[in-house]
């Protein structure tokens, strides 16, 4: 709070120091993702393979999962979401600290997949905002890594809050 007031008071809203500070904070945030994996179905096996040494999710700063939403800033929704579990997912999202991001992992999470019925949510974007969609049944590890890189780009380019 105090740093931003001093910087904007001296150089204005788009001043040199503010721009450099935004860039530094964006860089730090994109390489320190604290993941909360919300795994409900078979795509969880593919998520585990991405976290292993062959694909090394750690080089993107996203390997260490958090098991409390209050410690996480990235909600990775993996698998089919039923209407019964949807309120739990929303509560987990609401407990996360700002800034927070959501990744829809797999076709069932993105669109409901082949579960076109009364019990399945047809895409989690009907419940909460999604930042990156990773399609596939299950998505290949390379696709997951590409999705993480897209999220990192989005974080770097976003307006930073202090």
Beta bridge partners of 101: 74
* pLDDT for the residue numbered 16: 52
The three-class DSSP label of residue 35 is strand
10 Å Cβ neighbour count for 97? 11
* pLDDT for the residue numbered 70: 93
* pLDDT tops 80 at residue 19: no
Domain boundaries, the chain: 34-153
How far apart CA 66 and CA 112 sit, in angstroms, is: 26
Alpha-carbon dihedral angle through residues 95, 160, 110, 71, given to the nearest 10 degrees: -30
CATH number for region 34-153: 3.40.50.12280
Mean pLDDT across the stretch 81-99? 95
CB 109 within 8 A of CB 79: yes
Mean pLDDT across the stretch 86-97? 96
């Amino acid at each position: 709070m105090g740093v931003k007031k001093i910087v904007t008071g001296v150089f204005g809203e788009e001043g040199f120091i503010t721009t450099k500070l935004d860039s530094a904070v964006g860089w730090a945030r994109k390489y320190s993702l604290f993941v909360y994996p919300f795994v409900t179905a078979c795509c969880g096996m593919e998520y585990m393979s991405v976290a292993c040494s062959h694909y090394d999710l750690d080089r993107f700063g996203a390997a260490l999962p958090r098991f409390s939403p209050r410690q996480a800033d990235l909600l990775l929704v993996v698998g089919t979401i039923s209407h019964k579990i949807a309120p739990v997912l929303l509560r987990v999202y609401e407990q996360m600290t700002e800034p927070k991001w959501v990744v829809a992992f797999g076709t069932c999470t993105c669109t409901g997949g082949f579960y076109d019925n009364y019990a399945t949510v047809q895409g989690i974007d009907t419940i909460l905002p999604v930042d990156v969609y990773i399609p596939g049944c299950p998505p290949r590890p390379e696709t997951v890594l590409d999705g993480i890189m897209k999220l990192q780009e989005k974080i770097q380019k976003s307006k930073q809050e202090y």
